[in-house]
Chain A
Amino acid sequence: MSYFMTHLPSGWHVDQSILVEEDRVVCIRFGHDHDPECMAMDETLYGVSEKVQNFATIYLVDITEVPDFTKMYELYDQCTLMFFYRNKHIMIDLGTGNNNKINWAITDKQEMVDIIETVYRGASKGRGLVVAPRDYSTRHKY
């Protein structure tokens, strides 16, 4: 479903999207549209994009097309989801050890909505690190 979502074609666009958004969480998925894991993630993101439009906006970035952030954000996974709020990177404690990003595909829409909501709640209170509603340290189990 990635073709329905907004793609950011350059680094400038990515910067602007993060900078300009005043009161919504900006979720950016870094990866490739053709990647299977990204496809699964995009499906979920597209499914929730309408629901969360009041407090979050979702963009897709092709890391081959826009390699500017690869080093800074250490985008070495197939699929990476990052959250920003008022030009600030919001970290999220998922229990995985990597608090900077979600680097796997989330397939449950409600889970995704919950995560975005949590990020919004924490970020709007000025927190830089929020705790995810669920512990993903043992996600291999699910």
Chain B
Amino acid sequence: MSLADSLLADLDGLSDGEPEEVQASSSNGGMMPPPPLPSKGTKRSLLDDLEDDDDLDGGDGDLKMEDGTSAAGYVPEGGVRPADELDQDEVNRTDLAGIEDVAKVAKLMTGKKLKEVLEVSHAQAERYALTAKGIARYTAEPTDMSSSSGGPLEENPEYHLVVTANNMSVEVDNEIMLVHKFIRDHYGPRFPELEQLIADPWTYIAAVQGIGNVDDLTKAVMPSTLPPATVLSITLTATSTRGRMLSNGEWLTVQRAIEVAEQLRDAREQIFNYVESRMSAVAPNISVIVGTGIAAKLLGLAGGLHAFSRAPSCNIMLYGAMKKTLATSHLSAVSQQRHTGFIFQSPLVQSAQPEDRRRAQRVVSAKVALAARIDAGKSCRDGSYGRKLLVDLQKRIEKMAEPAPNKMIKALPIPQETARKKRGGKRARKLKEQYAQTELRKLQNRVEFGKAEEEIDQDDESVGLGMIGQAGRVRAQVADTKSKAKLSRANKLRTQMLGRSALTSDAGSGTQTSLSFTPVQGIEIVTPSLSAAQRVKEANDRWFASGTFTHVRKD
């Protein structure tokens, strides 16, 4: 077996494994696989969607986080989680050429969910436009959603519409991706090189529309929206293309797909406009910081502005984050982007350097929490506080990218040697005096010239007395009080107590007699200790004569 063979075998094994994983994840109803994060492992599987047709046709429940599937992140009570983005690579890998009907790929346009959202939002927007008029409608005037008279925001049906519409926009994006792929697959036979030339979906679709299904590609009229450089490269490639004419049916399929794509684009635009206008009325300050789309996602997940404003910033940061699960644990931690949520996807955080993004996410979520409280309190309706925070955050994030300041080398001081001042104060002086040489010791150390010093014997050695007791001294030496050993206060008290107890004890001194002569009885022996015993006995007779408390004397 050659190396190539073994590699092929490996690849086979990989592709075999994939459908199994899909099966596993589709078993939970294609509900809410991992959240929308820029990594592969966290995106939802395309095959997943294609397989459960009926689920999407049902049109509802797709946004709800019903059973809290293991792959999904934290969703607070009452929160709604947006759909997950599809993985671009996976979409590109899927071959849609076999599917004839574009409606099978883009189910959203035919489903009633999007229609409902669009209709209602359109109606609302128009009503709004009528009442508020013109440009001012995006910022000025408290609306029924932002006014305090209308009760809590969460009970407003329009608020739910905003959240749903915003979440729908993710799905619309997914659909656009799919339809683009669909068009590429079906238009491929006519002009296979075109998809390499144009990466952008809308430019590609415009080009397809312009070229059409003409006989000679070089004679095709390019739409004026295409950039001239692209037009040039298209015409150059067209001369040598290996494409063939599409059949009528095929061309019809492509045309229908283009139609659907345009519908989707319109829907997307409408949703964006709507969400933007509404979010800047509901939460102007949050919207300024993270943008309306992410603000809507956050509020939707938290279950309302008030619930969101009560959440701490460390939790806000993780809204939309993915939990570590068995299904994703085989992926590397780097690609998973754990502990990152919607805030992480905001343009503000993304503007930071990759290594600073987590730090940026933290500061942004802290400020979003503040802005949420401002919004919940219905102040700064024009978003001025949010703008102030945004400016601060931008500065902060810019600062993060700056290199650390240079370390200053501090020159060493000149090694000069000066006389050290050793003054310890009162206490140190006292200590020194306490152990200083006494006069007596000084005298002992001195010897008078030409005279033998007095000596005393101590054990088997003799100690010289020096000039102690020598003539010339009238008075006896007085020991300095400073050098006397001192008792501590506690020690003094203790010795006093000992002395007192010795004085007051009954025993008295050993020479005291216990014989006393009394005129009444002659000699009586008094036992001092007995008197104490008697006192006890007396007391006992009085109180405990009957024995213990348990015996009650009957009288």
Which A residues form the contact surface with B (CB < 8 A)?
A: 50-55, 113, 117, 120-121, 124
Contact = CB atoms under 8 A, between A and B. Distances in A.
Nearest to A113: B412
B417 interface: yes
B415 A121 contact: yes
B417 A121 contact: yes
B229 interface: no
B233 to A, nearest CB: 52
Nearest to B413: A54
A49 B412 CA distance: 10
A51 B417 contact: no
A50 B415 contact: no
A117 B415 contact: yes
A54 B417 contact: no
A50 B411 contact: yes
State the 10 A-B residue pairs at the shortest beta-carbon distance, nearest first: A50-B409, A55-B414, A117-B415, A54-B411, A53-B411, A54-B414, A51-B412, A121-B415, A120-B415, A51-B411
B382 to A, nearest CB: 54
B289 to A, nearest CB: 45
Contact of A52 (B411, B416, B417): B411
Interface of B: 409-417
B417 to A, nearest CB: 7
B215 to A, nearest CB: 73
Given A50-B409, A52-B411, 16 more contacts: A50-B411, A51-B409, A51-B410, A51-B411, A51-B412, A52-B412, A54-B411, A54-B414, A55-B415, A113-B412, A117-B412, A117-B415, A120-B414, A121-B415, A121-B417, A124-B416
A124 B411 CA distance: 19
Contacts of A50: 409, 411
A59 B409 CA distance: 20
Nearest to A117: B415
Contacts of B409: 50-51
Contacts of A51: 409-412
Contacts of A124: 416
A124 B409 CA distance: 25
Contacts of B411: 50-54
A85 to B, nearest CB: 13
A48 B414 CA distance: 14
A63 B409 CA distance: 31
Interface centre among B411, B415, B417 (most CB of A within 10 A): B415
Nearest to A118: B415
22 contacts: A50-B409, A50-B411, A51-B409, A51-B410, A51-B411, A51-B412, A52-B411, A53-B411, A54-B411, A54-B412, A54-B413, A54-B414, A55-B412, A55-B414, A55-B415, A113-B412, A117-B412, A117-B415, A120-B415, A121-B415, A121-B417, A124-B416
Contacts of A117: 412, 415
Contacts of B414: 54-55, 120
Nearest to B417: A121
Contacts of B410: 51
A52 B413 CA distance: 8
Nearest to A119: B415
Contacts of B416: 124
A53 B410 CA distance: 10
Nearest to A114: B415
A87 to B, nearest CB: 19
A54 B409 CA distance: 13
A54 B411 CA distance: 7
B407 to A, nearest CB: 11
Nearest to B408: A50
Nearest to B410: A51
A32 to B, nearest CB: 27
Contacts of B413: 54
Task: Give the interface centre of B412, B416, B417 by most chain A CB atoms within 10 Å.
Answer: B412
Nearest to A50: B409
A120 B417 CA distance: 11
A121 B413 CA distance: 12
A83 B242 CA distance: 84
A50 B412 CA distance: 9
Nearest to B415: A117
Nearest to B416: A124
